[in-house]
Amino acid sequence: MYYYIRLLKNTPLEAVIQEPFKMVFTITTDLTEKFYESPCKLRCQTVVRTPSTAPGATPDDTIMTVMPQGLSQGYSLDYDPKIGYCSVDLRMAPCMTIYDECQVVLSLDPAPYTSNNGKALIAPPEYEILPAWSLPIHLKPAPLNFSKRTKHRKVNRKYLIDTRQDLVERYFKLPPHLTGVHGPGRSLLVREDANEGFMARHIWDSGVFMTKHLMLPDSWLSKYMREQDKKALEASMAELSVAESTGAGAVSTESTTATTVTSIRPKKRVCLELGAGTGLVGIAVAAAFPELSVLSTDLDEALALMQQNVDANRALLPQNNMEVGFLDWAEKDRQCEPVEILLLADVVYNDLSHEFLLQTVLDYSDERTKVLLGYKFRHEAEQQFFERAKEHFEIELVHEQDTMQLFVLTRKLSSVPVTSAQLHPLPKEQKANQQESRPKYISAMSKPQQPSPPPMSNRQRKIMERQAEKNRLAAAAKRSSSTSSPNPNSPNNPSGENTSARTPFREAELQFLARHPVPDFSLALDFRLPAEELLRRYPKVRRARLNGGRSLSQFSELFGFKETKDGQDQEEEEYAYLHEDHPGLIYIPAAFTPAAQRTLIKGCLKEYSRHPNKSSLDTHYKVPSSGLWDLHENVYLKKQSPDDPAVFVPRKADVDNQANGYGSDDDDDDDDQDGEQDANGNGKKQETGPRPKPQSQQPAAKKSKPSNPPQRRAMVPITNETPTVPDNVPKIDPEPSSQVPILPPSQLIRKMRWITLGYQYHWPSKTYHFDQNAPFPKELCVLSKAVVAAVDNDGEKGEFPYPYPAEDFVAEAGVINYYQLKDRLMGHVDRSELNKHAPLVSFSFGHSCIYLLGGPTREQSPTPILLQSGDILVMTGPCRSAFHGVPRIIEDTLPGYLQQDLTDPEWDIYADYLAEARINLNIRQVYPPKSSTTTTATSTSDPIVTTTTTTTTALDTPAE
């Protein structure tokens, strides 16, 4: 395992001598899922490059010189794992004036680990910590008048690959046998993205592991290349002997051998790298084996940085034997040829892409191809890839270190070539459309005759995940038509999961989850269409007047008053819509005015997010009682510096009183967003497969926990017929983790997923804390009661079939969901409330989304609804127990009135958040009313039966 020094705040592009600038760093693993847990000392140095004066040196050859006095202050830094990051102010010393640029290097300080007699003063770190190099900093001389200091130019730190401040450099020393070839002092330089969100542009542990091994003279690849050269030489000598025996005449042995070797080898010995990321492994192989032509491939989001790294190492590639290309594993009908070497490093972490990865490896391999797979154990689902690969490949373990292993896969002679079209059959029409819309892979490895691929979305990393699910559905549908019962022991189904068919609800989710090709959002039911067109296009939709034929503003001023062209208030009657397939659904489009939406959005982000209301961040962070939004606002309005330690929310594990003396689970905050369990792959382990995580790498044993910890209570269904308050037993909350990152408020606010109002919700057990009842906002009580009153059954002809008396409705609990553009909410049913008859009222703000509404089971096909900002959705009757979910937030659908407004500067911070977000506010009644009249109906066509139930138990007061 390796740890990486990561720059949370990078150095500037230019710096003035003796002018201060700040650098913030931390130490994490490759995927930033774990911080370095031991204190250590680091050193910060400046490095300058000067032209090399060695004989035969080129203008590009430079000498790196460490300048110990390059910084005005000391260069020894202390890393404290309890804080999780280190902030340091740096100044360039006056001696740096003679240089045009320099780099800042952060590395482990070796001084504490050595002494004069060779004995270590303290134990060295257990794992290797890779240093970080900043990009070159342009130096400017200090101004003559120091009373008017000029600040360095600030750079807008967006998540863009072209922003140089987002990159850090890593150097890897070449082994001695390569320095003799490329010259002394040369190192392999690789830049990686410092941003946490772009994992495809990070250096991963398996890449470092493979790089260090493959460049060694006794590595498996070195032995293989020497063996191939030996075979070629023996073949040439045999051919020479045949020529001499036939009397062909005396021929120069040296020239004949060279000619024969060239004729036996392919003209281009190709090495193809899949999922190359930064290109680290491919560059190392191209530098160590110039006879190989290396092609490193990935999706578009990684290609720009990969090309930069190739260009930065051209001195190590004198043969220009490396290039970069685009390759989508989900591409079908590829025109490709087998290669000699296939490189794969850390590519099996995503089990959804296994099927496409394996097919890509099969497309580019035959029995002569050697597949080098660098693997690091992360989770059990990765075993599925190896189980599938054993059907086609012989797997050999050739090198290992800690949890990292290097495998060599060789194609079995009996393996029948399988094309991507055979693996994923599609109808001819769909296949034709796909070929027209999907860009083709064009590089040195494919047969030309195609134009270069057009640019694609920057979220390419999720394409293969969504496309994999979609193609699984197509294959499952074909299998289900030919067989009635699936075989759970099939080799293509190592987890034993019944994948012969997906439920209709799951199919709809996957349809709108797909990122490429983009789903057809016009398939969703749009209640904003003109009434005549809506009723004509959707015959099952029915329009109903609100109670008394009034407008919502007459029920409550919180909806806002809509103005006509002459400036007068508009009080015309408004309508709601019902759907025959979903009895109990009530949809009120465009219910709020823009001003009313802004008011409620401000409340959801600021007022309602304060304590005692709980948020999703409270488990692991010590969020101040004033809420996180105030910190974000202070930084946004420049009332506080973004580098001020006071604006960083500390981890709860670091500040809480550790009276119990035991740690926390690192994966408590891991949510399976898809609502499906990962396949365990618990089949019989093979000797050639990857071994499980060794005992030495298991997490350290935790200290003993208090005896007799509280147990999670059993979940007992509760109905309105027998309203009973559950026993108020303690519910186990997830323990705070010390591994969550410490982020500035602008980033942490976008990681908040929910806020609970009123009765606080216990997410692990999906029940309420009946002893934790925060004051419910009064305006939301009025607003929700007004909606219930508007859809009461007092209206004309009893248009709403499942009414609920407005006087009985009490807003007792609510959830505010905060969605970012890539978030989704998978299908579920709300069953936690004791009162199942009371309606659930939902308000939507921000970007539009696809809302799936199904039936009591996932077997009923859901109806996709286009849910837009300002709409109200009410779930009553049977609809209250229907499966529903939000599989997709639609980009670029934020209404103009919620975007930046020059006339209202105070709205800018809210518009900035909503530019990539959606907010949903839903309100529920938990307890049945003390005395209520409940109306039920067996169907939409049956006469309504009214039953009066008087409840005398004190359910309006939580049980103690």
Q: Can you give the three-state secondary structure of 715-733, one letter per residue?
A: CCCCCCCCCCCCCCCCCCC
Task: Give the Cα separation of 838 and 785 in Å (integer).
Answer: 11
Strands (E), 721-766: 754-762
Residue-wise pLDDT for 286-344, tens only, equals 988 988 899 999 887 788 888 888 988 888 887 788 989 888 888 777 777 889 999 99
Separation in Å, CA 32 to CA 202, 299, 648, 692: 10, 22, 18, 22
Does 949 score more than 60 pLDDT? no
pLDDT for the residue numbered 379: 79
pLDDT for the residue numbered 863: 95
Task: Give the Cα separation of 220 and 409 in Å (integer).
Answer: 12
- Residue 354 counted as an annotated binding residue: no
Which DSSP helix (H) or strand (E) runs through 786? helix 778-790
pLDDT for the residue numbered 817: 95
pLDDT for the residue numbered 915: 93
Give the strand pairing for 884-889 and 849-853.
antiparallel
Does 670 score more than 60 pLDDT? no
Residue-wise pLDDT for 460-494, tens only, equals 556 666 666 677 677 666 656 554 444 444 433 33
In 10 A of CB 303, how many CB atoms? 21
In 10 A of CB 326, how many CB atoms? 20
The amino acid occupying position 675 is: G
% of residues, the chain, pLDDT over 90 = 27
* Residue 624 CA from chain centroid, whole number: 27
Task: Give the Cα separation of 436 and 587 in Å (integer).
Answer: 38
For 89, phi then psi, to 5°, come to -95, 125
Of 128 and 780, the structure prediction assigns the larger pLDDT to 780
- Cβ atoms of 455 and 303 closer than 8 Å: no
- Residue 516 counted as an annotated binding residue: no
SS3 content of the chain, % helix, strand, coil (to 5): 25, 25, 50
DSSP secondary structure letters along 660-681: S-----TTTT---TTS-PPP--
pLDDT for the residue numbered 721: 40
Closest CA to 899 of 843, 847, 848, 849: 847
The token duo for 805 is: 């008396």
Does 690 score more than 70 pLDDT? no
Mean pLDDT of the chain: 74
Instruction: Compute the average pLDDT of residues 421-444.
Output: 39
Task: Give the Cα separation of 31 and 37 in Å (integer).
Answer: 15
Instruction: Compute the average pLDDT of residues 774-794.
Output: 88
Instruction: Compute the average pLDDT of residues 120-148.
Output: 69
- Residue 618 counted as an annotated binding residue: no
Instruction: Compute the average pLDDT of residues 347-351.
Output: 84
Closest CA to 817 of 913, 919, 888, 889: 919
Task: Give the Cα separation of 432 and 641 in Å (integer).
Answer: 55
Does 136 score more than 70 pLDDT? yes
Instruction: Compute the average pLDDT of residues 693-716.
Output: 40
Instruction: Compute the average pLDDT of residues 269-285.
Output: 91
Residue-wise pLDDT for 824-861, tens only, equals 999 999 888 888 889 999 999 999 999 999 999 999 99
Per-range mean pLDDT, top range of 93-107, 442-456, 693-707, 721-735: 93-107
Lowest-confidence pick of 224-228, 291-295, 440-444, 887-891: 440-444
Of 280 and 444, the structure prediction assigns the larger pLDDT to 280
Per-range mean pLDDT, top range of 59-63, 229-233, 332-336, 678-682: 229-233
pLDDT for the residue numbered 809: 92
Residues 6+ apart with CB under 8 A from 713: 726, 727, 729, 731, 765
Per-range mean pLDDT, top range of 60-74, 363-377, 860-874: 860-874
- Cβ atoms of 500 and 473 closer than 8 Å: no
Supply angle C-alpha 542, 548, 549, rounded to 5.
55
Lowest-confidence pick of 43-57, 214-228, 484-498, 514-528: 484-498
Which DSSP helix (H) or strand (E) runs through 190? strand 187-193
pLDDT for the residue numbered 479: 59
Lowest-confidence pick of 210-219, 439-448, 514-523: 439-448
pLDDT for the residue numbered 135: 82
Length of the chain measured in residues: 960
Task: Give the Cα separation of 889 and 850 in Å (integer).
Answer: 7
Which DSSP helix (H) or strand (E) runs through 395? strand 393-401
pLDDT class for 233, splitting at 50, 70, 90? confident
pLDDT for the residue numbered 468: 67
- The pTM for the full model equals 0.47
Tokens 């830094």 appear where? Answer: 77
Per-range mean pLDDT, top range of 84-88, 526-530, 710-714: 526-530
Residue-wise pLDDT for 530-549, tens only, equals 989 999 999 999 998 887 67
Does 442 score more than 50 pLDDT? no
Instruction: Give 386's DSSP letter.
Output: H
Longest CA–CA separation in the chain, Å? 116
Of 771 and 752, the structure prediction assigns the larger pLDDT to 752
pLDDT for the residue numbered 661: 41
Supply angle C-alpha 799, 801, 806, rounded to 5.
90
Does 564 score more than 60 pLDDT? no
pLDDT for the residue numbered 884: 95
Closest CA to 376 of 125, 207, 201: 207
pLDDT for the residue numbered 586: 93
